[in-house]
Chains A and B, each alone.
Chain A
Amino acid sequence: MTEMVTVKGLNKVYESTGRRVEAIGDITFAVARGEFACIVGPSGAGKTTLLKCLAGLLAPTAGEVRIDGTPVTGPPPGMAVVFQEYGRSLFPWKTVRQNIDLPLRQKKLPRDRREKLVTESLAAVGLADAGDSYSWQLSGGMQQRVAIARAIAYEPQVLLMDEPFAAVDAQTRADLEDLVRSLWRSLGITTLFVTHDIDEAVYLGERVLVLSASPTHVLDDVRIGLPADRDQVTSRSTPEFAALRARVHRGIQDAKAGRRGTGAAA
């Protein structure tokens, strides 16, 4: 398997007048092409910062990020990001359809192809009827789904998602989890998924990276050996699931307690 996302010795320090925050201490990991990796870590661990460095929106202070072998110097092609502040990431002066369409226009796709992608992605997130609304006329959870629809319509090779299901109810959340997994399985999009929810991380990922509190490093790298066919009820009630969940949970507890982990890359 080739590496799609490579992070080597990444360090990020925010510096503003009189304040210096080392958001990321030293992170090294790689995600293979087509892999689904979840990233968990305590609040303020630098997860968003990490994603922004991967997305070419922030320059690392030290270290290196490569996407598909190419060093990242700006937003790389073929990447879609679902931001944590989904509401602010939608263009309020555009309708839902236009929001999804606009990135496709930048890719210079023909009109009928764009229309098809917009319609399909809206249907996929269950918002087929909301296309002509403005984002501010939608609920928080609906806005989040629009942001997700925009990302999948873009047909990215790499998909970065920053706590994308934080604002939706349990049922919608389960549906979206299954949607993201089925998209991943059918399209083979390399996916990095940041979440606070350990269950979600274990259920979704083929791998879970546990980050320490800042200055951040990788505490644990757990391979999720569950079968590819997952089901909200049965998968979550298996002993394997419970064991994996417990392991990730311990990792997070260690992170909160400030213990430095093995930093091992499995």
Chain B
Amino acid sequence: MTALDTAPPGQAPPVTTPRPRGRRPRVAPFVGIAVAALIAEIVPRTGVIADGVLPPLSSVVAELVSEAGEATLWQALGRTLRTWAIGLTAAVVAGVAAGLLIGLVPVLRAVTASTVEFLRPIPSVALIPAVILIFGTDFESGVVLIVYAGFWQVLVQVLYGIQDVDPVTYDTARSYRFGLRARVLHVVWPTTLPFVFTGIRLAASVALVLAITGELVIGTPGIGQLISVAQSSGATTRMFALVLLTGLLGTLVNVGFRYAERAALGWHPSVRRSENAR
């Protein structure tokens, strides 16, 4: 877990003062973006790489802006996001449920350890042919790929989280005769939550990659399919405009989940712990 903004602990209670946010203007990231944009603008114009195929950034951006006025793009975007959201939700729900079950039952943990280690590294894309065979070429195929890949991300994080439960805290709950439900609710789940967030964030990125890969390879309607069509019809600028869009989408997803994580866990000890690491 990365260091997030929280109040410095160790002060006398009650701590209510709002903490000042860093006012330092952050220039470095924008310098990086500007340099990258400059290269993307200049290199295609020099014709050093694949003469004529690579459009300069300005025309790619212009193309994207004009595409934004068309319904086709928004429809495709909606489809891609639908696949992504359904797959991600299913993966998170299944991963959390399975993770809690496996993590809390030592026998299950021992039995599944080797299976998890074997199934987890299988790249989802390697399953595309099998998925087409079983589920056809509809968007469900993309969903299945996403669930498969996302499930492991979340499951593994939940298992890490359960291992992180403090034995003293757990013993305390036991000695005060917390039932299983109360132990999970008040001890296991709060400890696991930051790990769950990490799992969701990882799964969300993977899910986006797979949503587009599925469309590219299987031909399910969506941004990926548009890219593939643009490429085969020689609309290079359009193709790159769509690629740029997927990049923006990925960034948005990542930033969005980071923000949600920060908002939800600002109070969490794991956040605090990483702040005053001993």
Q: In this complex, what residue of B is CB-closest to A87? A: B168
Shortest Cβ distance from A106 into chain B, in angstroms?
Answer: 5
Whether B169 lies near A91 (C-beta < 8 A) is yes
- Asked whether A57 lies within 8 Å of B10 as measured between CB atoms, the reply is no
| Contacting residue for B9 out of A57, A81, A136, CB 8 A | A136
Q: How far is the CA of A105 from the CA of B182 in the complex (A)?
A: 10
Q: Are A75 and B174 in contact (CB under 8 A)?
A: yes
Q: Taking the nearest CB of chain B, how far is it from the CB of A234, in angstroms?
A: 34
Enumerate chain B residues within 8 angstroms of A130, measured Cβ to Cβ.
13-14
Partner of A81, one of B11, B13, B175: B175
Interface size on A, residues (CB 8 A): 33
Q: Determine which residue in B13, B171, B187 has the highest number of CB atoms from chain A within 10 A of its CB, and name it.
A: B13
Interface string of B1-40 (1 = CB under 8 A from A): 0000000011111110000000000000000000000000
Contact of A77 among B15, B177, B267, B268 (CB under 8 A): B177
- Docked Cα-Cα span, A75 to B175, in Å, equals 5
Is the pair A137, B13 in contact by a Cβ cutoff of 8 Å? yes
- CB of A103 within 8 A of chain B? yes
B residues less than 8 Å from A94 (CB atoms): 186
Asked whether A91 lies within 8 Å of B187 as measured between CB atoms, the reply is: yes
Report whether B169 and A57 are in contact in the complex, using a CB–CB cutoff of 8 Å. Answer: no
A93, B268: Cβ atoms closer than 8 Å: yes
Complex CA distance for A80 and B11, rounded to whole angstroms: 29
A129 touches B13 (CB 8 A): yes
Enumerate chain B residues within 8 angstroms of A102, measured Cβ to Cβ.
Answer: 176, 178, 182, 186
- Cβ-defined contact, A134 with B168, below 8 A: no
Asked if A43 is at the interface of the complex by the 8 Å CB criterion, the answer is no
How near does chain A come to B167, taking the closest CB pair, in angstroms?
8
In the assembled complex, B164 has its CB within 8 A of some CB on chain A:
no
Q: How long is the Cα–Cα vector from A76 to B9 in the complex, in angstroms?
A: 36
B13: chain A residues within 8 A (beta carbon): 129-130, 132-133, 137-138
Q: Contact check: which of A56, A80, A88, A105 meets B169 at CB < 8 Å?
A: A88
**Cα separation A134 to B14 with both chains bound (whole Å):** 9
A-B contacts, 17 listed (Cβ < 8 Å): A75-B174, A79-B175, A81-B172, A83-B171, A83-B172, A85-B168, A89-B171, A102-B182, A129-B13, A130-B13, A130-B14, A132-B14, A137-B11, A137-B12, A137-B13, A137-B14, A154-B176
Interface, chain A (partner B; CB < 8 A):
52, 55-57, 74-75, 77, 79-81, 83, 85, 88-94, 102-103, 105-106, 129-130, 132-134, 136-139, 154
